[in-house]
Amino acid sequence: MAKTHITTTVNGDEYEVLCEVDQTLLDVLRDELHLTGTKEGCSSGDCGACSVMVDGRLMCSCLVLGVEADGKSIDTIEGMADGDVLHPLQRNFLELNGLQCGICTPGILIAAKNLLERNPNPTETEIRFWLAGNLCRCTGYDKIIRSVMAAAEEMRGN
C-alpha cells in the first residue's frame, strides 16, 4: 500500500509528508517532522501530553490521524515562543514552578494558550475544568493553575 502524501502547515510553515493511514498526527509530528516537543503519554486520549491545536481547536494528536492533517493548520509547542522570547505562559511556568519533570508541560501550555485565546479572564475553576484533560504526575496542579492565572493577568495588562 502506497503512503499518502499530505500537505500541512505546522506553526506557520508548510510541510509535505508521506504517511501511513494508521500513523497518528502525534507519530507524524514526532517521527516524520521531528517536532518532538509534543509528548506521548498514553496514546489513548487520557493524558493530554500530546495536545495540539488543529485549525485553532484543541485536540489530542494521538487521536487524530496524520492523513487528517492534510490542508490543516497545526500549532504545537515549538511555535509558542517568538524566537528567543518566551510566551508569557512559558515564562510564568518557569518563574512560578509550574513544572517539574516537564513531560506534561507542552500539552498544558498549548491547552492553556487555547483557553486564554477564547477567554482572557478565566476563573480558577474554569482553568481547572479546561485543563482536566491534562494529567501531571509531579506538581499537584496548584502551581500550574497559578502560573496560568499569572500569565492571564499579565496578558490582560498588555
Partner 1 sequence: MTGLRYEAPENLNAAMALLGGAEGSARVMAGGTDLIIQIDNEMIEPDLLVDIKNIKEMRSIDQVDGGYRVGAAVTGMELMEHEGFCATWPGVIEGVSLIGSIQVKGRATVGGNVCNSSPAADSPPPLIAAGATATIVGPNGSRDIPVEDIAVGPGKTSLAKGEIVVAFNFAKRPAHSGEAYQRFTPRTEMDIAVVGVGVNLTLDGDGTCIAARVCLGAVAATALLVDEAAATLIGTKVDEAALDNLAKAASAACRPIDDKRGTIEFRTDVAGVLARRVALVALERARKN
Ligand X SMILES: Cc1cc2nc3c(=O)[nH]c(=O)nc-3n(C[C@@H](O)[C@@H](O)[C@H](O)COP(=O)(O)OP(=O)(O)OC[C@H]3O[C@@H](n4cnc5c(N)ncnc54)[C@H](O)[C@@H]3O)c2cc1C
Least distance to ligand X from the beta carbon of 105, Å? 20
Which residue matches cell numbers 504517511? 19
Residue 50 touches ligand FES, criterion: CB under 6 A: yes
Least distance to partner 1 from the beta carbon of 158, Å? 25
Residue 41 touches partner 1, criterion: CB under 8 A: no
The CA R_g of the chain, rounded to the nearest whole Å, is 16
3-state SS class at 24? strand
Q: 65-78 burial string, b = 16+ CB within 10 Å, else e?
A: bbbbbeebebbbbb
- The answer to whether the beta carbons of residues 72 and 25 sit under 8 Å apart is no
Instruction: Catalog residues that contact partner 1 under the rule CB under 8 A.
Output: 1, 4, 20-22, 24, 43-46, 48, 51, 57-60, 62-65, 67-68, 111, 114, 129-130, 132-134
Judged by the rule CB under 6 A, the positions of this chain that interact with ligand FES are 40-43, 45-50, 60, 62, 99-104, 136-139
